[in-house]
Amino acid sequence: MSTIAGFDFGTSNCAFGVITDNQPTLVNLPQHGHYLPSTLYAPQPEVISGWLYQQLKSQGLEQPYQQARPNLGASLNALREAKLDGYDDQLAFGVDALDKYLVDPADCYYVRSPKSFLGSSGITPRQQQMFEDICASTMWHLRHQAEQTGLAPIKKVVIGRPVNFQGLDSHRSNTQATEVLTRAAKFAGFDQVEFLYEPIAAGLSYQQQLQQQQNVLVVDIGGGTSDISMLQMAAGSDLSERHDEWVLGYSGERIGGNDFDIALNFNCLMPTLGSRLKDGKGRPIPNKPFIDAASVNNISDQTRFYRNDTRAMLSELQRQPELTTLMRILTLQQQHMTFQLSACAERAKIALSELEQAKVALDFLEPELATVVDRANFTEAAQQLLKRMSVLIDDVIAQSSCKPDVLFLTGGSANAPFIKDYLWQRYQIPMVSADNFGSVTSGLTLWADKIFNKSGC
């Protein structure tokens, strides 16, 4: 006996859903609740593979992973050496991962939103293996947590995926990302893995509350992507395995909650670190280090920010009397605190959903340092992202050759007032919402039940 599940391996949060009493329900994970924040902590990157191998071996699942990692011995040695050197030899996930990272950001390995990196261009085979290990470790932890609730082993899953993982070379990016996720899921013990577009999954969830046939424009603003679809749905209609029977159009791009965090970070927080300063001759200092520091979802940008030549440039500038404030961004770099600053931006973004202003403590960079961000400035900073989102929506409406009856807004950023206001002013379509965080998981669960259980697979 095994369990069938919907699996939202999200940019911001992860969740499992199962069918209970003919309805999709989210699994309440013992250590995390319904949602596991998508973060991982390791004392050193080299120990991840060894830790994963040990967990898989404890359940007799290690052989496929062992065959795929011929140099596994080095990681196991690193794991043993870390323990001998007094380091923790365990990985941590979710809030626990963030807590451990904050103890000493410069002396650990911390990943936030690994899904954001899966479609990146130019990654090496070693980096791709690292992404597989990070995803597989997170998936194994989630699966272990879910099964601690009394579920039979989870063997068949439908995993949500964005329409496009990246904006550039989307076909290559999508292939790469889904292959990484598939291999990671198989390593973690899932026997059958299928994928479903996240906006379609959200639409399936919305169908549960439909009273009549409607053209539903689904706008799913997740942590990493915005995914749009137009679905023709009716109350109680059977789910067809042929998407083209009810999907009229779809599109997506890498514009998500993380990008709004970055916009707030760069435009509202980085000035406190010196981004708008001018040198003694009245020349603006380079913006690139501040953009790179804020872009925590971009491997190339983060690598460039932490390079020695970036440090040398900032140190040279900081010697000028007009530019002493740059010591703050130097501290950010030297202490590897870009994720900590990004977390501040995210908290401020959430606070601005209800408040006109939010105070942001930055005392980890300098004693008593703080700044205030306001909703108007953040909304202005987000305009380019909103315009890109509207291009996606316009494209889907054009594909569908019909007007939507309703706009179903979902995803982690769906509560933001400036997003709702922008969509209403531009489209004037009746807007509805449901569980912003759980709608995709519920739809994935319905689809998993359809293709694995009712279809007899």
pLDDT of 203: 87
CB-hemisphere CA count at 13 Å for 336? 13
Angstrom distances, CA of residue 374 to CA of 177, 268, 346, 364: 36, 9, 14, 21
Burial of 335 (0-12, 13-18, 19+ CB in 10 A): middle
- Residue with the bigger pLDDT between 31 and 436: it is 31
The answer to whether residue 457 scores a pLDDT higher than 60 is no
Domains of the chain: 3-32+54-67+114-198+443-454 (3.30.420.40), 211-433 (3.30.420.40)
Condensed to tens digits (0 to 9), the pLDDT of residues 329-386 reads 999 999 999 999 999 999 999 999 889 999 999 999 999 999 999 999 999 999 999 9
Backbone dihedral angles phi then psi of residue 235, each to the nearest 5 degrees: -65, 130
Looking at the whole model, is its pTM more than 0.85? yes
pLDDT band, very low/low/confident/very high, at 61 (cuts 50, 70, 90): very high
Measured in whole angstroms, how far is the alpha carbon of residue 278 from the centre of its chain? 35
Q: Are 367 and 410 in contact (CB under 8 A)?
A: no
The answer to whether residue 240 scores a pLDDT higher than 60 is no
Ramachandran category for residue 196: left, alpha or beta (phi over 0 → left; psi -120 to 50 → alpha): beta
